Homo-oligomer: A and B are copies of this chain.
Amino acid sequence: MIDEYEGRISTPVPRILEKYRDEISEALKISISDQSIFVYEMLRYCLGWVDKTGEPVKGVPGKALRPSLCLFACESVGGRVTNAMPTAVSLELIHNFSLIHDEIQDFDEVRHHRPTLWSIWGAPKALVAGDVLRMIADRSLEAYGDIDVGTTLRQVALLTEACLDMIEGQYMDISFEGKSSVTLYQYMNMIARKTGALIRSSIHLGSIIGSSDDEVARMFRRSGQSLGYVFQIRDDILGTWGKEYLTGKPVGSDIRRKKNSLPIVYAMSESQGVAKKALKEVFSKNELEDRDVELVLEIMEDVRSMEYSQGLAEEFCDKALDTLREARLSRDAMDDFGELVHFLANREF
Contact = CB atoms under 8 A, between A and B. Distances in A.
Interface of A: 37-39, 101, 104-106, 123-125, 127-129, 131-132, 134-136, 138-139, 142, 149-150, 152-153, 156-157, 160-161, 163-164, 167-168, 170-172, 174-175
Given A127-B127, A132-B164, A171 B101 contact: no
Q: How many copies does the complex hold?
A: 2
Contacts of A174: 124-125, 128
Contact of A142 (B132, B136, B160, B175): B160
B160 A128 contact: no
B105 A128 contact: yes
A135 B157 CA distance: 10
Given A127-B105, A149-B153, A157-B142, A135 B167 contact: yes
Contact of A128 (B129, B156, B171): B171
Max chain B CB contacts within 10 Å: which of A123, A135, A156, A172?
A: A135
A225 B113 CA distance: 45
Contacts of A152: 153
Contacts of A171: 37-39, 125, 128-129, 132
A192 to B, nearest CB: 14
A225 B106 CA distance: 39
Nearest to A129: B171
A38 B175 contact: yes
Contacts of A37: 168, 171-172, 175
A215 B184 CA distance: 58
